[in-house]
Structure 1
Amino acid sequence: MDGMTKAEVDRIERSMIAHSDKPIRPRDAATLILLDRKGEEFLVLMGRRHANHAFMPGKFVFPGGRTDPADSRIPAASALHRDEEMKLLAGPGRTSATRARAIALSAIRETYEEAGLLIGRKGAFTTDSSDWQGFVEHGVQPCLDMLRFVARAITPPNRVRRFDTRFFSAWRDDVAVELPDGGPTNELEELVWLPLAKAREAEIPDITRMILDELENRLAHDPLLRPGGPVPFYRLVRNRFTREIL
């Protein structure tokens, strides 16, 4: 387990969120890192948040957001790979298989809402959930076997907003439909495919840069991103920002 001091983690989080005097329990959230190959180079999809957003305005980020309770009731054409599910169940807290599935589905939903990309396979899909009607309209069945769990990070205490974020990855080939005008929430005003090295140089939060470093290292050893790979987990433990492997 590696550690960083409280001062170091404060520096990482300072540009992201304001402080709060009240203890706030982190909320489950998910992010999807979409990858593409260009020869020997890996590209990653990032979007710039609108400047008027309260949370990380103007920063380049991956599509993502909070897990909604309704996500647990969405049918999927395929389940999480068992090795990926076991990684999601590992670590502190009491994440159930149902909750892990909902978190993974929220990464797919947020990618549609923010980037207009529908991850899954073409086929008839039905649900009453308003957040998933894009999949119904475009005939896309969300699939979980395409996802790889690549990192986890919990926002430190005493912050206005706290998230227990699971970072997933998928390939551009896993996109069944790409909407030309982007997603319905329009939260990301600029979507770009960047080489990993260029992505690290963009205006991104420090924790995002750390996740990109982790992902690049994993790809160097496993360019196919096979199931069950190591998952770095960042959190504050006894005033030290730690990194452990799930």
Structure 2
Amino acid sequence: MSMIKGLKLPAEMRERLEDMRAGRIDPVPVRDAATVVVLRDHPEHGLQAFMLRRVASMAFAPGAYVFPGGSVDPRDGEASIGWAGPSPRAWGEAFGADETVARELVCAAVRETFEETLVLLAGPTPGSVVDDTRGDAWEADRQALLDRSQSLAQFLDRRGLVLRADLLRPWAHWITPEVETRRYDTRFFVAAIPEGQRAGDVSTEADRVAWVRPADAVERARRGEWFLLPPTLATLAELADYATVADVLAAERTIVPHAPQAKIIDGEAYLVVPEDAAEHYPTL
């Protein structure tokens, strides 16, 4: 498959790439992960996405603006969780995953979004959703999820809530390049922020948050003001084609995995994007 240029990599990545080519090191295994693009309709600015800037001390993608998300926790697949909406099997069909992994991905999406933003895609009944997650009690629950002293299923059960899988939509699938020392097999979801809830600056992994029009975020990356990883940039460029949250949620998506690769081009190491993902990938 032909490739296009994407992101220039630091010099040490070229050395790692050459070591891999020579068989001196092997790629690290990938970890399943979920990312959620939380969206809202702003009365003046239109469609906006919630983004966080990762702190400079992070081992993976320091300083990058990202969507909420993270890797799957072993307990995310607990079958006892209250569930409303498409079944794990249906999610597996959408994302090309088995039923167990699909359940874990949806649960990780809901858990990580709450941990990082206080946005909770759950409600007392299959047709309702929590309208406010602010306050000390909710913060204690968030901390218990973070330190793994309670699982998502335990949290929801204790509060009498069901996970609202129907509030999520599948959007994309990206796999971290083999040259990276931390690798993720990440499924991207989109969701509207529930009415009454507010996305908060609560993650210790972020030093700044922002609601931003997708097109504005792409433009900031073009101007060198924001650092965006290729999957984030491509997702924002796609979302820029939509006017409202409803339009995004109604979009028909066929999910195929995209796996950027590290290449040496003109003596420099680049992370290049597959041609099948390049249609919406802007040139920086």
What TM-score comes out, normalization by structure 1 length? 0.76
Counterpart residue type for residue 54 of structure 2: R
Indicate how the Cα distance of structure 1 residues 130 and 177 shifts in structure 2: closer, same or farther if over 3 A, else same. farther
Which whole-Å CA distance do the structure 2 matches of 1:131 and 1:155 have between them? 27
- 1:77 is aligned to 2:73: no
Kindly report which structure 2 residues correspond to 1:1-246, keeping only aligned pairs within 5 A, or say none.
3-4=2-3, 8=5, 11=7, 14=9, 19=16, 21-39=25-43, 41-73=46-78, 75-80=81-86, 84-89=91-96, 95-122=97-124, 130-132=150-152, 135=156, 140-173=161-194, 178=198, 182-183=202-203, 186-200=204-218, 201=220, 202-217=226-241, 223-226=247-250, 228-236=252-260, 241-242=273-274, 244=276
Counterpart residue type for residue 4 of structure 1: M
Alpha-carbon deviation of 1:181?
Answer: 6.3
Q: Secondary structure of the residue that 2:241 maps to in structure 1?
A: helix
State the partner residue of 1:92. Answer: none
Which whole-Å CA distance do the structure 1 matches of 2:184 and 2:260 have between them? 13
Indicate how the Cα distance of structure 1 residues 180 and 25 shifts in structure 2: closer, same or farther if over 3 A, else same. closer
Q: Secondary structure of the residue that 1:118 maps to in structure 2?
A: coil
* Contact in 1 for aligned 2:259/2:274 (Cα 8 Å): yes
Alpha-carbon deviation of 1:71?
Answer: 0.3
Which whole-Å CA distance do the structure 1 matches of 2:162 and 2:207 have between them? 26
What TM-score comes out, normalization by structure 2 length? 0.67
Q: Secondary structure of the residue that 1:199 maps to in structure 2?
A: helix
Which whole-Å CA distance do the structure 1 matches of 2:247 and 2:199 have between them? 28
Indicate how the Cα distance of structure 1 residues 176 and 165 shifts in structure 2: closer, same or farther if over 3 A, else same. farther
Alpha-carbon deviation of 1:155?
Answer: 1.2
Counterpart residue type for residue 55 of structure 2: H
Q: What stretches of structure 1 of length at least 5 have no aligned partner?
A: 90-94
* Contact in 1 for aligned 2:92/2:101 (Cα 8 Å): no
Indicate how the Cα distance of structure 1 residues 159 and 105 shifts in structure 2: closer, same or farther if over 3 A, else same. same
Larger radius of gyration, structure 1 or 2?
2
Indicate how the Cα distance of structure 1 residues 176 and 68 shifts in structure 2: closer, same or farther if over 3 A, else same. farther
Which whole-Å CA distance do the structure 1 matches of 2:217 and 2:159 have between them? 31
Partner deviation per Cα, 1:10-50 (whole Å, 9 max, x = no partner): x36x36x9547322221111100001112472100001111
* Contact in 2 for aligned 1:150/1:232 (Cα 8 Å): no
Q: Alignment identity in percent?
A: 28
Which whole-Å CA distance do the structure 1 matches of 2:52 and 2:252 have between them? 28
Alpha-carbon deviation of 1:232?
Answer: 5.0
Q: Secondary structure of the residue that 1:223 maps to in structure 2?
A: helix
Alpha-carbon deviation of 1:154?
Answer: 0.8
Which whole-Å CA distance do the structure 2 matches of 1:34 and 1:113 have between them? 13
Counterpart residue type for residue 230 of structure 2: D
Which whole-Å CA distance do the structure 1 matches of 2:165 and 2:209 have between them? 23
Which whole-Å CA distance do the structure 2 matches of 1:189 and 1:171 have between them? 23
Q: Could you tell which deviates more after superposition, 24-33 or 133-142?
A: 133-142
